[in-house]
């Protein structure tokens, strides 16, 4: 059933109107199955969720908060797999005002968390691995999944690559600069051809503070990464390592891509410093024709950059041991877009161009620790907040979500960021040579869509006339592709930018339906939509619904929604949902 106003699209569902409300919405013929909620058991011994009396010990065994990146690893390992596998989920951050009674609204709750509440929040960060299966049409966690895992802000990790052991990574607790406790603010992510998952530390600056942020020897570097004296999460009141006056190097141990093996719950996660330190939104891979692995990454900040990393050696499917440290050696590059539709990938290599001692770089370790400053010196193109960067498996183009940039002034416009006061964001395509040579130093680029409501939002533009009622989107954040190469775009920020709920939109990427986005999912009040993942056989859309009820005056006692339970004794709960067709068919068709 094609919509008359959106003819030419291969999509077969009726787009949703731009509603907002306490509950989420899917198109006719689809249903939502709630799969994992904050507080659901993950590990043996997890107590029943009791939000009024939550403890760090309980939280360490339960599903964490603010689910973001989603990935699916089939079981048994090594098979293409059916509808049984390991769900990997990032837990980006916490909303104490909605997690604990009596803290007031978000503003008040920031400063009054107790030591135990801080520890609970630390246990609610990180990632979860949960065995899931679909039986009789319904997705559910497998009870007692033996590969289940929780990773938290205290999980022991190894640091590898050019910054491992660097003097700026050494602390009192780790004089070697090679071991770190925990991971923070993992937003989106990616995976590797050798079956590991990559999770991306984004706004790590929210956790570090103290007077020394502006007075210490590293003050300029702290500033470039957005550290402030009084951070969003003032954990330093109870956990000294977050005070840069006491541990000036601790923030340098965050802002990395972390790799782990989801099939081995005992494996130690590794921070791969060769991929650079910045506010990593995600890290998705593509393969160059010669087998080298290319990791695309966005640095989610206004006027920051799009990066890629190309491994030094090809991936060898027959040599699992040889692949294990493939991400430790290679070339980190940053994009310079030209107004003529071409772009150059500039290597961040110590000793080349401005990346020398004259500018304070004495090693590749220095370059990756201050990747942002290195990219500044190379003349990378400041973008409108690069979020997900992901390759379409069908047409080989790389899609860059540029979520918004209200600070883009008319005198700073360029062709890849052409809109002043860009509140709705846009998406562009990078086209590698031959639509496949992801390792190349050059590429072409095109605008895919300029988000916003056509006719209302200045500069909104899609390939053809997108349905003014149901099709347009605002603030593209993460994306996924189905096996037909159609793009599914999740949004973050539409309630502010466009006064509509965030959602998930689908569109063709080629042909008559190119960029004709259509609204597939409407998030509940206060939530953004993360982790879009098209499940096995294109029969499921998995979504991570993050921070339901996150509104200025929301509290534990009086949240703006109680999604998904809608029980008076339950606060809103960030949850992973599975959206399936009631007839079991292919989604979107
Ligand atoms: Fe965590 Fe850039 O969104
Ligand atoms: Ca995101
Ligand atoms: Ca994605
Ligand atoms: Ca975002």
Task: Classify residue 517: in a domain, yes or no.
Answer: yes
pLDDT at 564 over 50: yes
- pLDDT above 50 (res 199): yes
> What values do phi and psi take at 270, rounded to 5?
-125, 130
> Could you give the 3-state DSSP secondary structure of residue 401?
strand
- Asked whether residue 340 is domain-assigned, the answer is yes
Give the pairing of strands 270-272 and 156-160.
parallel
Centre of ligand 4 from the C-alpha of residue 171, in Å: 31
Sequence-distant (≥ 6) Cβ neighbours of residue 558 within 8 angstroms: none
Token pair for 424: 């709705």
Span from the CA of 290 to the centroid of ligand 3 (angstroms): 24
Residue 478 falls within a domain, yes or no? yes
306 within a domain of the structure (yes/no): yes
CA–centroid distance, residue 331 to ligand 2 (Å) = 25
Q: What is the pLDDT of residues 216-273, one digit of tens each?
A: 899 999 999 999 999 999 999 999 999 999 999 999 999 999 999 999 999 999 999 9
Report, as an integer, the average pLDDT of 484-499.
Answer: 97
pLDDT band, residue 469 (cuts 50/70/90): low
Q: Could you tell me the distance, in angstroms and rounded to a whole number, from the CA of residue 477 to the centre of ligand 1? A: 7
528 lines ligand 1 (CB under 6 A): no
Q: Where are the alpha helices (DSSP H) in 70-140?
A: 96-99, 106-112, 115-124
Model pLDDT, residue 274: 99
Question: Does residue 218 fall inside a structural domain?
Answer: no
**Adjacency order of strands within the sheet including 398-402:** 284-287, 292-298, 306-314, 330-337, 342-347, 442-450, 426-431, 398-402, 386-391
Q: For residue range 429-459, list pLDDT tens digits in order.
A: 999 999 999 999 999 999 999 999 988 899 9
The pLDDT-based confidence of 3 (bands split at 50, 70, 90) is very low
Q: Domain range holding 57? A: 4-202+255-405+424-581
Distance of CA 62 to the CA centre of its chain: 21
ipTM given for this complex: 0.93
**Residue 143 burial by CB count (10 A; 0-12/13-18/19+): exposed, middle or buried?**
exposed
Q: Is 187 in the pocket of ligand 1 (CB under 6 A)?
A: yes
Q: What is the mean pLDDT of residues 44-65?
A: 98
What are the tokens at 555?
């509290």
The total of other beta-carbon atoms located within 10 Å of residue 359's CB is: 15
- Cα(354) to centroid of ligand 1, in Å? 30
- The count of domains in the chain is 1
Of the pLDDT bands very low, low, confident and very high (cuts 50, 70, 90), residue 113 is: confident
The reply to whether 220 falls in a domain is no
C-beta separation of 309 from 329 below 8 A:
no
Average pLDDT, the chain: 96
Mean pLDDT of 401-426: 98
502 CB within 6 A, ligand 1: no
With a CB cutoff of 8 Å and minimum separation 6, the contacts of 135 are none
Which two three-digit tokens encode residue 580?
A: 């399936």
Edge-to-edge strand order for the sheet containing 476-481?
A: 476-481, 487-491, 503-507, 518-522
Task: Please report the DSSP string for 448-509 in residue order.
Answer: EEE-S-TTTSTT-B-SS---TTTT----EEEEEE-TT--EEEEESSHHHHHSS--EEEEEBS
Closest Cα to atom 1 of ligand 1: 187
Quick check: CB of 300 below 6 Å from ligand 1? yes
What pLDDT is stored for residue 470 in this prediction? Answer: 65
Within a domain: 586: no
Contacts of 261 (CB under 8 A, 6+ apart): 195, 196, 197, 267
> Which atom of ligand 1 is the closest one to the Cα of 298?
2
Ligand 1 nearest-atom number relative to CA 68: 1
**What is the rounded CA–CA span in Å between residue 41 and residue 295?**
33
Give the pair of three-digit tokens for residue 162: 């050019």
Measured from the Cα of 188, ligand 1's closest atom is 1
455 belongs to a structural domain: yes
Query: Is residue 555 predicted with pLDDT exceeding 90?
Result: yes
Contact 340, 322 (CB under 8 A): no
DSSP code per residue over 174-199: -TTS-EEE----EEEEEE-TTS-EEE
- For residue 529, the CA-to-ligand 4 centroid distance in Å is 9
Q: Which domain CATH number covers 151?
A: 2.120.10.30
> Which protein residues have a CB closer than 5 Å to ligand 2 (ion)?
187, 477
- Residue-wise pLDDT for 140-157, tens only, equals 999 999 999 999 999 999
Per-residue confidence at 4, pLDDT binned at 50, 70, 90? very low
Work out which ligand 1 atom sits closest to the CA atom of 281.
Answer: 2
Lowest mean pLDDT among 9-23, 177-191, 478-492, 521-535: 9-23
Q: Which helix (H) or strand (E) holds 321?
A: helix 320-323
């Amino acid at each position: 059933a094609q919509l008359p106003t959106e003819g030419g699209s291969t999509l077969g569902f009726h787009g949703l109107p731009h509603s907002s409300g306490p509950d989420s919405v899917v198109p006719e013929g689809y249903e939502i199955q709630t799969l994992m909620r904050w507080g659901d058991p993950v590990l043996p011994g997890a107590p029943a969720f009791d939000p009024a009396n939550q403890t760090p010990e309980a939280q360490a065994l339960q599903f964490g908060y603010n689910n973001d990146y989603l990935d699916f690893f089939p079981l048994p390992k090594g098979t293409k797999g059916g509808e049984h596998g390991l769900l990997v989920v990032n837990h980006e951050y916490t909303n104490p005002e909605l997690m604990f009674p009596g803290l007031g609204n978000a503003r008040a709750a920031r400063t009054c968390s107790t030591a135990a509440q801080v520890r609970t929040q630390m246990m609610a960060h990180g990632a979860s691995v949960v065995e899931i299966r679909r039986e009789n049409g319904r997705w559910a966690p497998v009870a007692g999944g033996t590969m289940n895992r929780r990773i938290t802000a205290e999980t022991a990790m190894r640091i590898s690559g050019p910054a491992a052991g660097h003097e700026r990574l050494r602390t009192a607790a780790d004089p070697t600069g090679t071991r770190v406790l925990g991971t923070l603010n993992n937003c989106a992510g990616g995976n590797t051809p050798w079956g590991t998952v990559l999770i991306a530390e984004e706004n790590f600056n929210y956790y570090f503070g103290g007077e020394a942020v502006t007075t210490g020897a590293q003050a300029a570097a702290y500033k470039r990464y957005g550290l402030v004296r009084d951070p969003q999460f003032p954990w330093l009141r109870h956990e000294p390592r977050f005070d840069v006056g006491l541990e000036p190097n601790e923030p340098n141990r965050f802002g990395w891509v972390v790799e782990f093996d989801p099939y081995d719950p005992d494996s130690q996660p590794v921070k791969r410093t060769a991929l650079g330190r910045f506010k990593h939104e995600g890290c998705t891979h593509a393969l160059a024709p010669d087998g080298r692995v290319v990791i695309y990454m966005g640095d989610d900040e206004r006027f920051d950059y799009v990066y890629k990393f190309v491994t030094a050696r090809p991936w060898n499917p027959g040599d699992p041991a040889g692949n294990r440290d493939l991400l430790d050696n290679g070339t980190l590059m940053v994009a310079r877009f030209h107004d003529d539709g071409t772009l150059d990938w500039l290597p961040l290599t110590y000793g080349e161009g401005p990346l020398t001692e004259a500018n304070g770089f004495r090693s590749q370790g220095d370059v990756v620790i201050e990747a942002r400053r290195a990219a500044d010196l190379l003349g990378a193109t400041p973008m409108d907040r690069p979020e997900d960067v992901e390759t379409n498996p069908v047409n080989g183009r790389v899609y860059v979500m540029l979520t918004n940039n209200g600070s883009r002034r008319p005198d700073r416009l360029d062709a890849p960021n052409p809109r002043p006061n860009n509140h709705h964001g846009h998406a562009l395509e990078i086209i590698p040579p031959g639509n496949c040579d992801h390792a190349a130093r050059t590429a072409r680029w095109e605008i895919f869509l300029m988000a916003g409501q056509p006719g209302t939002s200045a500069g909104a533009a899609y390939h053809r006339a997108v349905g003014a009622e149901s099709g347009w989107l605002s603030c593209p954040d993460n994306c996924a592709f189905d096996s037909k190469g159609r793009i599914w775009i999740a949004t973050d920020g539409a309630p502010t930018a466009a006064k509509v709920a965030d959602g998930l939109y689908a569109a063709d990427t080629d042909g008559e339906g190119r960029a004709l986005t259509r609204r597939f999912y409407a998030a509940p009040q206060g939530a953004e939509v993360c982790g879009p993942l098209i499940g096995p056989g294109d029969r499921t859309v998995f979504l991570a619904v993050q921070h339901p009820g996150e509104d200025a005056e929301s509290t534990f006692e009086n949240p703006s929604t109680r999604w998904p339970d809608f029980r008076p004794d339950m606060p809103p709960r960030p949850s992973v949902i599975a959206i399936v067709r009631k007839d079991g068919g292919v989604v979107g068709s």
